[in-house]
Amino acid sequence: MAMPTFQLAPDLPPVSRLCFGPASTFLLSLFLFLSPAVGLTLLECGGVLAGTMTMGEQSGAASSLRLLDAASDAGVNFFDSAEMYPVPQRRETHGRSEELLGRWLRARRAPRDSVVIATKVAGPSGQMTWIRGGPTALDSQNIAGAIDDSLRRLGVDYIDLYQIHWPDRYVPMFGETEYDPSRQYTSVPMEEQLEALGKAIDAGKIRYIGVSNETPYGLMKFLQLSNDFQLRSKLLTLQNSYNLLCRNFDSGLAECCHHERVSLLAYSPMAMGILSDKYHLSDDCGPPDARMNLFKGRYSEGESRYKLQSPSVKGAVQEYTRIADKHGISPAVLAIAFVLRHPLVASVVFGATKLWQLDEVLQASRVHLPQEIYAEISEVHARYPNPCP
């Protein structure tokens, strides 16, 4: 069966609806867009984005390249990375995911216009001092430097989709749910960021732009100001977390994306693997090579959001696993197929470090969940609403 595809922009090739993307070493993110279906049926799969978050850390070079080959052979043509990857982030591995993706592109010798490459610029961070000193701010100089560095590491002349990884202002993120006005700080104006991105588009270095880890205010403000820079048609995507345990997108951002025609790239569809039920199958918190065990204590962003010992997380995962078992599919297939069912999701950014994981993702892209299963999911969500916000 052919991989399902999604037309992200008129002058981009149709992208696979699975995006092989970020994870602990090298993750292939799969951009998936599937329309709601009436029955649990198989369909042609054709829109995948491969992510590279773990490439170079949890996955070594050889296995990362094999994963990329396998994803491409299955029809994945959309790949997502970031300048800070792989994670957990370290000075020694900074930029390795982009470098490995670039190495694969050269070895594959695929025509440049047959693949869609996405990456991200890091926002302010007091920890990653090896990235332009912090970076201390997401200003025009940092954006311009980040673009040039990513082009060099990827070995390409242009980037199809360039995203702001997180805002240059205080916002509640990674498990925080309440806005605290006292934490506001002086940040770089969005106008300066848009001007820098517009210059990069004019120079032919990037083609389209997106935002990530954003709020309704941030998305709408960015859209409003983009009109002043003639960039409204260039702002295509929002990349935020969305899965069975984290459905915050539906509260406010969904309406924004619907009316403004911004596509959601849903990252963490498996909630960092929790929804596979591997962490709760036994009393020892899952296999030692699972990401949250392998990097325990080094992955603050993930651990602050995905609390393995939370009773509500455990309860929700057990209920979703029960639904999957009842209908003869794996918990992973249920989790990914659920995200693909969302009418505003253009692609699912998925990470895999093993070929069997990739195979399971590809299987999920061919499944449509019937209304019966969706009703059971909704009942569980009502009892365990957003345990991993």
CB 161 within 8 A of CB 115: no
DSSP 218-273: HHHHHHHHHHHTT-GGGEEEEEEE-BTTB-GGGTTHHHHHHHHT-EEEEE-TTTTT
Please state, in angstroms and rounded to a whole number, the distance separating the CA atoms of residues 55 and 37: 34
Number of other CB atoms surrounding residue 172 within 10 Å: 14
DSSP 149-189: HHHHHHT-S-EEEEEESS-SS----TT--S--GGG------
Burial letters 297-317, b for 16+ CB under 10 A, else e? eebebbbebbebeeeebbebb
Residue 179, both tokens: 């806005």
Listed in sequence order, the residues at least 6 apart from 359 whose beta carbon sits closer than 8 Å to its beta carbon are: none
Told to judge if 185 belongs to the known catalytic residues of this protein, a careful annotator would answer no
Name the catalytic one among 85, 267, 279, 320. Answer: 85
Please state, in angstroms and rounded to a whole number, the distance separating the CA atoms of residues 238 and 215: 10
Please state, in angstroms and rounded to a whole number, the distance separating the CA atoms of residues 247 and 238: 14
Residue 331: cis peptide before it, omega within 30 degrees of 0: no
φ/ψ (deg, to 5) at 90:
-145, 155
Question: Would you please indicate which residues are annotated as catalytic (active-site) residues?
Answer: 85
